[in-house]
Amino acid sequence: MSTQQEPAAPSGPPARSAGAAAIGWFLTIGFNVVAPILTYNMLTDRGWSEFAALLVSGIWPVVDSLVHLAWRRKVDEFAVVTLVFLVITALVALIGTHSARALLIKDSGVTGLFGALCVATLFTPRPLMFYFGRKFGTDGTKEGVAYFNGLWQYPDFRKAMRRMTTVWGVAYLVEAALRVVLAYTLSVDTMVWVSPVLIYGFLVSLIFWTIRFSKRSQAEGEARAAALAAAAASSETGSPAPA
């Protein structure tokens, strides 16, 4: 009688190429974070409207996508997400009212939509955090991406990715709602410093939780794999597995 076997564990992750990893990180952070911020600040300081400055800033993630496509022969999901949210921010700036309070809460539209996107991807084949994990958890090489993709066959890995996506999604929905309530409860002068505290407070907390959760999940997975290996070895030798 045949029994269903657990999927064979993939070989360890390929050795990371320090040069390739450094270039990948430099391009990602440069094109998707540094360049848009510098471009936006430079243009608004010169009298450009928020909407026009955001549209021009959105060119950089497009450049990153084209570079990644030429280099890796595939679309970079992180650049696409960055571009989508730059466009959303531009639309919010265009159609939103321009009162002081409205400007204070406009970022809530972006973070709230990000939270909604996280939750929505729970109903797709792979949740959003899988793609972020693949982006920042590998060096971007073909071997590294293939190893990370291969982890999807394991139920524990899929469960961890969905849980992380759920936590990030719910947290940012709460952050967006809380900022809207506070913007219309507190004074504008108070919200000027409360708003960035909320933004970075939630972000740092989520990153800290994600790191701890990832390490705990990895340790539990390794312990479970060791127990399965010990059980398999004892079944072959006929001796009882260690408790």
Does residue 158 lie in a domain region?
yes
Give pLDDT, residue 168: 94
The CA distance from 55 to 210, in Å, is 32
> Which residue among 95, 112, 128 closes a domain?
95
User: What confidence tens digit (pLDDT) does each residue in 38-48 have?
Assistant: 887 888 888 88
Mean pLDDT of 117-135: 89
> Which residue among 50, 71, 95 closes a domain?
95
Task: Please check whether residues 91 and 151 belong to one and the same domain.
Answer: no
Q: Kindly tell me the sign of the dihedral angle through the C-alpha atoms of 158, 164, 167, 172.
A: negative
Give pLDDT, residue 127: 94
Asked if 135 and 200 touch (Cβ cutoff 8 Å), the reply is no
User: What confidence tens digit (pLDDT) does each residue in 14-31 have?
Assistant: 545 545 555 666 666 677
Task: Please check whether residues 132 and 155 belong to one and the same domain.
Answer: yes
pLDDT value at 3 more than 50: no
Give pLDDT, residue 148: 86
* Contacts by residues 75-81 (CB-CB < 8 Å, ≥ 24 positions apart): 76/28, 76/135, 77/131, 77/132, 77/134, 77/135, 78/28, 78/32, 78/131, 78/132, 78/135, 79/28, 79/31, 79/32, 81/128
- Least Cα distance to 18 among 136, 134, 139 occurs for 139
Range of the domain at 230: 98-235
Total domains in the fold of the chain = 2
Task: Please check whether residues 65 and 175 belong to one and the same domain.
Answer: no
Asked if 7 and 154 touch (Cβ cutoff 8 Å), the reply is yes
Q: Is 239 helix (H, G, I), strand (E, B) or coil?
A: coil
Task: Please check whether residues 77 and 102 belong to one and the same domain.
Answer: no
Task: Please check whether residues 226 and 162 belong to one and the same domain.
Answer: yes
Mean pLDDT of 143-169: 90
> Which residue among 32, 60, 95 closes a domain?
95
Cut 0.85: pTM above it: no
Q: Average pLDDT, whole number, for the chain? A: 75
CA distances from 238 to 3, 125, 170, 224, 228 (A): 18, 41, 49, 21, 15
- Least Cα distance to 24 among 94, 59, 74, 58 occurs for 74
pLDDT value at 211 more than 60: yes
The amino acid occupying position 91 is L
Can you say how many angstroms the Cα of residue 42 is from the centroid of all Cα atoms in its chain? 27
Mean pLDDT of 193-205: 81
Give pLDDT, residue 91: 65
Task: Please check whether residues 227 and 110 belong to one and the same domain.
Answer: yes
Does residue 10 lie in a domain region?
no
User: What does the block give as tokens for 74?
Assistant: 């595939």
**R_g over Cα of the chain:** 22
Task: Please check whether residues 107 and 222 belong to one and the same domain.
Answer: yes
Give pLDDT, residue 173: 95
